[in-house]
Amino acid sequence: MIRPQEKCIAECQTVAKRSENPTIALRLHPSNNHWSFTKGNLLLLFQRVEAAVSAARDAFPSWSSKSPWERSQIMNKLADLIEQELEAFAQAESKDQGKTITFARTVDIPRAVYNFRFFASSILHHTSECTQMDQMGCMHYTMRVPGGIAGLISPWNLPLYLLTWKIAPAIACGNSVIAKPSEMTSVTAWMMCKLLDKAEIPPGVVNIVFGTGPKAGEAIVSHPDVPLISFTGSTLTGQLIMERSAPHCKKLSLELGGKNPAIIFEDADLDQCIPTTVRSSFANQGEICLCTSRIFVQRGIYHEFLKRFVEETKKWKVGSPSDPTANMGALISKEHLEKVKKYVKKAEAEGARILCGEGIESLQLPTRNQNGYFMLPTVITEVKDESCCMQQEIFGPVTCVVVFDTEEEVIKRANGIKYGLAATIWSSNVGCVHRVAKRLQSGLVWTNCWLIRDLNLPFGGMKFSGIGREGAKDSYEFFTEVKTITIKH
């Protein structure tokens, strides 16, 4: 089992901006632009994919033959241990990623705990199918067996939340795993490693490999003994993973980028819609794949919506991640901040209007945060559908508001994009909601709400937003192989 034993990654308060050393990455702290870790040989900690696969292979026979109930008990223990240290995990996630402490405390870490509890429970309730062919003296039934060693790769925006969303179903089904958190945000994964023994997860069942995508990630993806890859990250990396795993015919689950529309009809309840749409645009600094970034508003309410939406956006406080009253913290890195700001500049150059945020107001930050990677929530309007701000994933606190007239028109425009992850519809007309939800090319549609999830149901995107679905039944099907068995009697 690969568990970093020397200087812990928590000490290096993570790691990102790629250094000369290809196996480690040193990181500027998002909230103050200070180097957090600059020395130490971490070579031994990373890139032990081969050893991890060997440990996972050794652990598989015993882990996969435990009963679901036994695995469930162990997973619940791990959930309890993370929960007992919730505050320490939340502090680390906030410092490491730049997100607010409130978001880490109320969303990231509670969800990581729940991921283990949820799959520890759901694994107890699956059934298989059986059919009879009495005329042939036969019956058929299906059986599911774990796929083997699962390779799990996750991004930096919801670090422990998304890593555990993969580890939990994979081990519940009896697989052993090689999991790689993003090199930008590895601290909470490291903290969780320290709890695995305490939870009595047998050695080799959960192997966490720390390293960069092109090195550790590719080594997992192209390893012939890792038949399953569950990946969450950018579309570009997802495409690369498809290529690298093709020679091995691997089973893939890809959760990729999004460019999500919110469609607001004239009969929407604006008192509900406006604060929720501000949140759906800017939560976690806009660094959630499900964030809204294209807002289509019907002409009759366009001016009122815009005025109230901008007023509400201006109330959002950008502050130190440790400030419990802040709505937004720092973006993940200097490079990402520059990329996001460039989109605003491009929109301006194309003739769009910036209504608030970047370039319009100035940030008020505590002295120690003034070199951090902060940005105000930014609202853009008068932007064309074909503009890069309407077509490309920005993954930051920028949202575009445009006007539409008819239902038919808005469906076409909302679908006129390569992505298809999530959409939001606001209307009090239930017929309209159903018609539009059915026709949107989107794996998830929220109506009159945002981000309410039932983990029982499928999660995932269409088109360039991914392949496959995850959730109670879907993850079970992904992390197991089904066999059909025929008995002649």
By the 8 A CB rule, do 389 and 400 touch? Answer: yes
Instruction: Lay out the site mask for ligand NAD across 284-323 (x = CB under 6 A, - = otherwise).
Output: -----x----------------------------------
Interaction between residue 468 and ligand NAD (CB under 6 A): no
Query: What is residue 357's three-state secondary structure?
Result: coil
Cα separation of 236 and 464, whole Å?
9
- Residue 306 CB, nearest distance to ligand NAD (Å)? 26
Q: Which residues are catalytic?
A: 255
Out of 14, 72, 115, 237, the residue judged to bind ligand NAD by CB under 6 A:
237
Out of 395, 426, 464, 478, the residue judged to bind ligand NAD by CB under 6 A:
395
Annotate 420-466 with DSSP letters as a single string: ESEEEEE-S-HHHHHHHHHHS--SEEEESSSS---TTS-B--EETTE
Cα separation of 358 and 361, whole Å?
7
Q: Take residue 50 and report the two structure tokens written for it.
A: 């081969």
- Residue 440 CB, nearest distance to ligand NAD (Å)? 16
Q: Take residue 8 and report the two structure tokens written for it.
A: 């812990």
Residue in 39, 422, 468, 35 with CA at minimum distance from that of residue 252? 468
- Residue 192 CB, nearest distance to ligand NAD (Å)? 15
Cα separation of 385 and 290, whole Å?
19
Identity of the residue, 218 or 323, whose beta carbon is nearer to ligand NAD in the bound complex: 218
- Residue 362 CB, nearest distance to ligand NAD (Å)? 28
By the 8 A CB rule, do 260 and 291 touch? Answer: yes
Number of amino acids touching ligand NAD (CB under 6 A): 31
Query: What is residue 276's three-state secondary structure?
Result: helix
Stretch that binds ligand NAD, among 198-206, 209-217, 277-285, 350-358 (CB under 6 A): 209-217
Interaction between residue 232 and ligand NAD (CB under 6 A): yes
Out of 40, 137, 203, 214, the residue judged to bind ligand NAD by CB under 6 A:
214
Furthest-apart CA pair in the chain: how many Å?
82
By CB under 6 A, what part of segment 140-199 binds ligand NAD?
A: 153-157, 162, 180, 182-183
- Residue 372 CB, nearest distance to ligand NAD (Å)? 19
Identity of the residue, 16 or 274, whose beta carbon is nearer to ligand NAD in the bound complex: 16
Q: Take residue 345 and report the two structure tokens written for it.
A: 């500049």
Note the residues at the interface with ligand NAD (CB under 6 A): 153-157, 162, 180, 182-183, 212-214, 217-218, 221, 232-234, 237, 240-241, 255-258, 289, 393, 395, 421, 461, 466
